[in-house]
Structures are given as C-alpha cells and as structure tokens.
Structure 1
Amino acid sequence: MKRALILFFLPLILAQVVFSQEKIVDYAHLKCQYQHTYLKDTLDVGTYNDLFILQIGKNISKWYSYYTFQMDSLRRTPDGKQVWQEMFNKSLEVLKNSGDRTKWMNSFPHNGSRTFVYKNNPSGKMTVTDGIGNDHLIYQDTLNAQHWQIADSMKTILGYECQKAECDFRGRHWTAWFSPDIPVSDGPWKLGGLPGLILEAYDVGKQYHFWMVGLEAVTREPIVFSEFSLSKGKFREIDRRELLKLEMNQLTNMGAIMEAETGVPSGNNKPVYRDLIERDYK
C-alpha cells in the first residue's frame, strides 16, 4: 500500500552550523526515526531507551543517536559547556535526594549511544565510529552481512504492509519486518539487505528492539561524517572485536566508572548479566 512518506515525525533541533564544519558525504532524501530499547539486565525487566535517526541518501546512509547529537550540539554552542554543567549539577541534587538513577538521567541532556554507522561508505562497506571514555574509535565492517530467510508472515507498521524475515547475526537470532512499498534496502543499526526498508527488528527475547516511530521525506538534507566530540586528535583505528571487548569491560565496571565521574557512590556491585548486541567477541 503506497502512500506519501511524510508521517508523524518528531521535530528535531538541528544545529545547521555543524554542517559547515563537517564533511558532507551525501544528501538524504528520507529520514527515519527509531525508538530503541535494550535490557538493563537479563534477570530484570528494566530497559534502557534511546532514540535513533537513520538518514538515507542516494548512496550513503547514516545511523546515530538523536540524544548524542543533541548533546554534542549543545556543547558546541558558545556557552554550551557551562549550561550543561549547571544542569548536570542540579541533576546531582535530584539523584542525592531521590536515589532514582532513571529520574536523574532524564533530568539533564545526556549522551545516548556513541555509535555512528555509515553504510556504503566507502562503497561496498560500512564505516563505524564509536567512543569509550575519551577514546574515539573507528573501523570498517561488512555491508549487508546478514543472510535473511524471508517468511510469508505479514503485519502493518505505520500504515505499511511489512513482511517478516529472520537471520542469525553475530550471536543473536534476529526477526525483521520490512516494507516492499519502501524500496530502500536499509534499516536500523547494521541491519539491511532486504528488498525494502526495515521498520522493526528485534532479537530473541527482545533484549534489543528497534521500531520505527517516524518517517519523513526530506530534500537534500546533508549527511555529514560526524566528529562532534573530537576536540583533539583523530579517530583511532581499531579491530571490531577488540572494540567489543573494551565495551564489555566498561559495561562490567560501569558502577565504578560512574562513581569516579560523578562522585556519587553507585552502591551497585552486582554482577552484570547484560551482553552486547554483537556476541562474537568471545
């Protein structure tokens, strides 16, 4: 069922000045917005949330967290660092008084995922940038590495008829719902390669879940290669599996890291039962 591609897309605050300071790699004709949840702990029902943007151009697409983009844009304003610090200091009072870490995280602008995915950049591959602490990392990955099995099941998402597909990818079994009516072979995160745009994807148990909440046709919106946080130096090249091992170490020691950064005792020395979205680092 074909229709106009403009749906209820949430407004974004775009810092246009950023585009003049970054390398433009393509121009988007379609912008997608995905909600993302992932389990805090496989023994608990609590989840983390993020909001992602997928810009799709003629040759290249870009996947990034809106919250991270918003945070970096704030920091690049003349008084952004001061404004953020004042809001952060006030939020610490919220944490000290309530002990509610979720309420604390929602009380000031904060980073989401630091992962940026550029598909078909360079041609036939994808470039991924990420960050751990003050380290800014980059690697190339295989484009459309999933081997999908398309099923007959159908369901409607945002008014589009979507077909089911499944695959095993780097330690997780994924289910995706794609729409042939949107003839773009792309989707959330590193997922793609189907004969239509992926509107929803999740692994077994929905430990990681992406679903589209907005879709908008745009006209020549710049797709930039982002270096928002690189005040010094350049990205350091790294092997993908090495980066995953570093991320797992950070996840395992998250309580101690947050305590060191905020000065607030985490009070959480429980073992970590959450795994990464890619499990093939083991």
Structure 2
Amino acid sequence: MKKLGILILAFSAQIFLAQASRFVYQVTMKPDAANPSDIKTENAYLDVNKEKSIFYSENRMKRDSIFGRARQTGSFNFDRSQMQSLRSNIDFTIEKDFKTGTKTFTSRIARDQYSYDEDRPMEWKILPETTRIGDYKTQKAETNFGGRTWYAWFTTDVPFQDGPYKFSGLPGLIVKVEDSKGDYSFDLKETKKIAELQNLDSFGSVIKVKRKDYEKQNAAFRNDPVSFFQAQMSSGRGGSGISAPMSRSGGGMRQPDPNQRKQMEERIKEEIKKTNNPIEIQ
C-alpha cells in the first residue's frame, strides 16, 4: 500500500508538471513607513509550467488586456476612472527560469523599462514547525533577503519548488511568506489550471542592466523624478511609457500641456513620498 501511495503521488506530480498552473496570492503591503495603518491589498499571479514561472499583478493583466483591445480597435479613449482603479503597487514582473536558475526582475523607471538578473542567493533554514494552511500541510522556513527576515510556509503536496516574488528553492510550493515586521505578506488563495503562461506586453524595448545599476537609476528617479523624465526625453528615449499630457497648438501640432504636466509631476512626487517602505530595503 505504501508503494502504491508513492506511485499515485508521483503520477499526480507528472500530471501537474505537464500543465500550466496559476497560483493566486493575496499580497498585503504597508508601502508608507510613516503611516503603517495605510495597508494596501491586491492579488498577484504566479503562473508556472515545467520550464519557468512568471509573477505579476492581477491589475497588470487587466490593464494589458485593455491596451490590447485598444490597439486592435485603434481607439485609445480610455475610461480614466477605470484605469486609475487598476493601478498597482506591484509594478514589476519576475520570471524564473527553472533550467538555469535565473530570476529576472523587470520594472519601469519613469518612461523606460529595465530588467536585471537577481545575483543574490536565497539561503533557507528549514524549521521543525508545521501547520495546516487551507488544504495544505505546511512546514516553516526562514531566510534573510533584501534586508528583511522572511518566514515562509511551504507544502510538498505541490511539486513546484517556487513561490511568489523572488522566493523559491524550498522543497515544495510556498503557500505563505511574510517578513518579520509584518510589512509584506503573500498568501495563497486559489489554484487553477490555465492553457499557457500569460504573455505580458512590455510596451517597448527593455534595457538590461546589473542589479546595482538598476538600484542607482531608481534612486536617481526617486530623488528628482522631474529631472529624470527630462533626461530621458532629451536623450531621445521615453517612447515606451505613457506620454506626457498633450494639447493642440494653433498649427494643429500636439504640444505638451504645461498645466497637466505640472499636475502629473506633482502627483509623481506625492506618490514617491508615500512609497518609502520598499520590499527590499538593502
């Protein structure tokens, strides 16, 4: 009977790995260290097949769908309130290549898309504590990554050594992971089969850099976003992002609307002030 059980488990794992799966996580964040009561919650997807996985926000997929339909119809008259409601605090994607072990982080800084391969190993300490989370029997593990101590609960019932964000490398799927300060948590809420992994549109070319260079660029943007935008535009880049608000001049040419542009700049500065507690603090 024991051998039969092992065979059934192995067969189930083969079926699981032969298909694409979507793991839906509820992500809870406290992006503003000065206002810990401001808690943001949204869903994110971990799409997995036998070769790789992609982690991204649910709102990202919805926005891509809207932009895709707009390109097909040629109509870009968006419902501003709808697009505003789909803005995400998970403004990145992470792709893990299981064969090479590469984790590629991609995110936009101002108007440009940047990506880098994670260069820091994630070393886990598996702890004896076990608990049941939903339908899964899980075991606890601990790691230090990005300046935070993280606690994860993983299950060997699902044959993927993967998890949300950059987390992976445990002997099973990560069902829950949270940092010791309670600023960030990822909780598995749903599992479903999908036909294939989501094809995310990058909306332009992606600039490949080293992680340290990405961090320098991001710090420069946060320090002075207006100058950063201007530098991108003067260098001839910036076509990959959302264009600055425009208005018609007398000759019919579209020119930047200075009033709307100022409003956009002030909004960006305010958003930066309220996102001072990143998931990685070093």
Question: 2:48 matched to 1:56?
Answer: yes
Q: Matches of 1:63 and 1:209 in 2, distance apart?
A: 15
User: Counterpart of 2:175?
Assistant: 199
Matched-pair identity in %: 23
Q: Matches of 1:254 and 1:176 in 2, distance apart?
A: 35
SS of structure 1 residue aligned to 2:213: helix
Report the alpha carbon displacement of residue 228 of structure 1 after superposing the two structures with TM: 3.8
Question: 2:109 matched to 1:132?
Answer: yes
Q: Matches of 2:198 and 2:272 in 1, distance apart?
A: 40
User: Counterpart of 1:275?
Assistant: 277
Q: What do residues 37-71 of structure 1 show as CA deviations (whole Å, max 9, x unaligned)?
A: 21132232212233211111112111111101110
Asked if structure 2 preserves the Cα contact closer than 8 Å seen for 1:37 and 1:49, the reply is yes
User: Counterpart of 1:237?
Assistant: 208
Question: 2:197 matched to 1:223?
Answer: yes
Q: What do residues 214-237 of structure 1 show as CA deviations (whole Å, max 9, x unaligned)?
A: 11234xx2225533422xxx2111
TM-score by length of 1: 0.70
User: Counterpart of 2:76?
Assistant: 82
Amino acid in the other structure paired with 2:25: Y
Q: Matches of 2:74 and 2:20 in 1, distance apart?
A: 30
Asked if structure 1 preserves the Cα contact closer than 8 Å seen for 2:63 and 2:83, the reply is no
SS of structure 2 residue aligned to 1:82: coil
Post-superposition, which runs of at least 4 consecutive aligned residues in structure 1 deviate over 6 A? Answer: 253-259
User: Counterpart of 2:32?
Assistant: 41
Q: How is 1:135-150 mapped onto 2 (pairs within 5 angstroms)?
A: 135-142=112-119, 145-150=121-126
Amino acid in the other structure paired with 1:189: Y
* Structure 1 residues 228 and 269, CA gap change in structure 2 (3 angstroms): closer
User: Counterpart of 1:71?
Assistant: 63
Q: Matches of 2:207 and 2:271 in 1, distance apart?
A: 31
Q: What do residues 129-160 of structure 1 show as CA deviations (whole Å, max 9, x unaligned)?
A: 211121011222248x2111111222222211
How many residues are aligned here?
235
Q: Matches of 1:32 and 1:138 in 2, distance apart?
A: 23
Q: What do residues 227-250 of structure 1 show as CA deviations (whole Å, max 9, x unaligned)?
A: 3422xxx21111212223433454
* Structure 1 residues 198 and 140, CA gap change in structure 2 (3 angstroms): same
Higher relative contact order (CA 8 A, sep 6+): 1
Q: How is 1:110-259 mapped onto 2 (pairs within 5 angstroms)?
A: 110-120=87-97, 123-142=100-119, 145-218=121-194, 221-223=195-197, 226-230=200-204, 234-251=205-222
Asked if structure 1 preserves the Cα contact closer than 8 Å seen for 2:168 and 2:174, the reply is yes
User: Counterpart of 1:18?
Assistant: none
Amino acid in the other structure paired with 1:37: T
Question: 2:20 matched to 1:29?
Answer: yes
Q: Which has the larger radius of gyration?
A: 2
CA RMSD of aligned residues (A): 3.5
Asked if structure 1 preserves the Cα contact closer than 8 Å seen for 2:30 and 2:277, the reply is no
User: Counterpart of 1:15?
Assistant: none
TM-score by length of 2: 0.70
Q: Matches of 1:248 and 1:137 in 2, distance apart?
A: 13
Give the structure with the higher percent helix: 2
Q: What do residues 147-178 of structure 1 show as CA deviations (whole Å, max 9, x unaligned)?
A: 11111222222211111100111211000011
Q: Matches of 2:217 and 2:42 in 1, distance apart?
A: 21
Q: Matches of 1:270 and 1:135 in 2, distance apart?
A: 17
Q: Matches of 1:177 and 1:188 in 2, distance apart?
A: 12
Amino acid in the other structure paired with 1:32: F
* Structure 1 residues 229 and 80, CA gap change in structure 2 (3 angstroms): same
